[in-house]
């Protein structure tokens, strides 16, 4: 049974909130009232909503209230409404949330990567940020950056899985990782002059991962005001993609693609268990990311020094799914294969063949997620030739067979 949604707009504290409620099929029906509390209505948050809605279609008795903005849990409530459950990405007011948890009437599941230390026992669903950090870090290292940085947009002292993931990856690779935490509650509150000072002081070249797309835009603006070239001196990658924001700035912004819809679905699923009186697991539910990265101008290193290497990278990205070999890349650039391989390894730490395989794997992963094509067709379009080659390379590089990858990460 599917739910039919209507949309109404209500105001809380001068801000707009969106209330979605199903049309009641009969009077006197008992509903389970669930609120989704978000920081904003970015593409990331809209995908989370879609995930919760997808689970709610399996629970016809659910009524959903959706609210965006900062504030206490009470913001998610309408006047006189008693909630059975809340899935939240806003935990700024830790004391208020502790009161809700102590009362026990309203069950809560969080889906944010940052949690106040007082709420470390809060039931959570999160993405494996260590694997996201590794995907971003490998991309930056492959571009020749031997120094990494991370820019947050929240209060210091909170448990930030993204920060821990980025620092751990940098340590595993033997490269430094600078961290910026101003203490702002959001990217909108981050003072631009402080970011300008930070990017000026950073040793360069450096690759910066940012908390989200809004912070990435602030970093790029700070670089422009500081006279720091992007991506020649500073490459920028956002933790999660928002295509509309990413492509409204010059340069356009690279970003990781996170399974936000799956995050919302799993948060709703865990909340449902709590509301049914089942015990909550002591550990967070961890969702594996797909590893797909949208490379745009902010981290496209084709204009950096060692031009031959970066032109080779650009050519491989553009033609990697075609019949392509290392000798052909060298011939196009007008240099010897030996020279290309030596320079390529020095700048990126990998061989040109590794880069070709990575481009093909990234294309294959995209096709696995976005289409229902047979493996033979995916392998052909990704430049791997046969399904057997696709299985071998993907299992070796990703730890999943193509079928396993599609089952884990596809939302279609």
Domains along the sequence of the chain with CATH:
5-125+260-287 (3.40.50.2300), 129-259 (3.40.50.2300), 307-409 (1.10.10.60)
- Residue 104: CA count within 13 A, CB half-sphere: 1
Residue 218 CA from chain centroid, whole number: 17
Q: What is the pLDDT of residue 27?
A: 46
The 3-class secondary structure across 5-42, one letter per residue, is EEEEEEEECCEEEEEEEECCCCCCCCCEEEEEEECCCC
Q: What is the pLDDT of residue 71?
A: 56
Regions in the chain scoring below 50 on pLDDT: 1-27
What does the alpha-carbon distance between residue 219 and residue 170 come to, in Å, rounded to a whole number? 20
Tokens for 180, please give them: 């910026």
Q: What is the pLDDT of residue 156?
A: 61
Give me the long-range contacts of 55-59 (CB less than 8 A, separation at least 24).
55/264, 55/265, 55/268, 55/269, 55/272, 56/3, 56/268, 57/2, 57/3, 59/32, 59/272
Contact, 73 vs 100, CB < 8 A?
yes
Task: Give the model confidence (pLDDT) of 217-276 as tens digits.
Answer: 999 999 999 999 999 889 999 999 998 889 888 899 999 998 999 999 999 999 999 999
Question: φ and ψ at 195, to 5 degrees?
Answer: -65, -35
Q: What is the pLDDT of residue 408?
A: 82
Task: Give the model confidence (pLDDT) of 92-147 as tens digits.
Answer: 888 888 888 888 889 999 998 888 888 888 899 999 999 999 999 988 987 778 89
What does the alpha-carbon distance between residue 235 and residue 304 come to, in Å, rounded to a whole number? 11
What does the alpha-carbon distance between residue 158 and residue 61 come to, in Å, rounded to a whole number? 36
Q: What is the pLDDT of residue 185?
A: 54
Q: What is the pLDDT of residue 8?
A: 35
Q: Rounded to two decimals, what is the model's pTM?
A: 0.70
Cis peptide before 205 (omega within 30 of 0): yes
């Amino acid at each position: 049974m599917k739910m039919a949604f209507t949309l109404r707009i209500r105001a809380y504290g001068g801000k707009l909130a969106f209330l979605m409620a199903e049309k009641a099929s009969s009077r006197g029906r008992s509903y389970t009232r669930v609120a989704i509390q978000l920081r904003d209505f970015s593409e990331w948050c809209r995908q989370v909503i879609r995930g919760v809605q997808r689970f709610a279609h399996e629970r016809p008795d659910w009524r959903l209230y959706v609210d965006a903005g900062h504030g206490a849990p009470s913001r998610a409530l309408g006047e006189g409404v008693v909630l059975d459950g809340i899935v939240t990405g806003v935990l700024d007011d830790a004391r208020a949330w502790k009161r809700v948890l102590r009362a026990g009437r309203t069950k809560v599941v969080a889906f944010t990567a940052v949690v106040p230390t007082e709420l470390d026992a809060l039931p959570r669903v999160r993405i494996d940020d260590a694997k996201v950090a590794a995907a971003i870090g490998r991309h930056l290292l492959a571009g020749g950056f031997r120094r990494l940085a991370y820019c947050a947009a929240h209060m210091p002292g909170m448990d930030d899985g993204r920060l821990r993931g980025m620092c751990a990856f940098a340590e595993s690779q033997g490269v430094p990782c600078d961290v910026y935490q101003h203490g702002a509650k959001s990217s909108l509150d981050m003072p631009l002059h402080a970011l300008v000072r930070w990017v000026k002081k950073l040793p360069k070249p450096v690759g910066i991962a940012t908390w989200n797309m809004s912070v990435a835009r602030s970093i790029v603006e700070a670089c422009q005001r500081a006279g720091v070239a992007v991506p020649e001196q500073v490459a920028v990658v956002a933790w999660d993609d928002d295509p509309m924001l990413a492509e409204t700035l010059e340069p356009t912004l690279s970003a990781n693609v996170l399974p936000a819809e799956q995050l919302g679905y799993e948060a709703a699923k865990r909340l449902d268990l709590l509301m049914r009186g089942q015990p909550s697991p002591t550990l967070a539910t961890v969702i594996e990311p797909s590893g797909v990265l949208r490379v745009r101008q902010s981290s496209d290193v084709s204009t950096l020094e060692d031009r031959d290497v970066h032109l080779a990278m650009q050519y491989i990205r553009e033609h990697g799914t075609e019949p392509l070999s290392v000798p052909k890349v060298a011939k196009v650039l007008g240099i010897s294969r030996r020279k290309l391989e030596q320079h390529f390894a020095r700048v990126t730490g990998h061989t040109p063949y590794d880069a070709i395989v990575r481009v093909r794997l990234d294309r294959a992963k995209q096709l696995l997620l976005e289409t229902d094509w047979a493996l033979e067709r995916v392998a052909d379009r990704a430049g791997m030739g046969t399904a057997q080659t696709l299985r071998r390379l993907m299992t070796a590089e990703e730890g999943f067979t193509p079928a396993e990858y599609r089952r884990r990460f596809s939302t279609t």
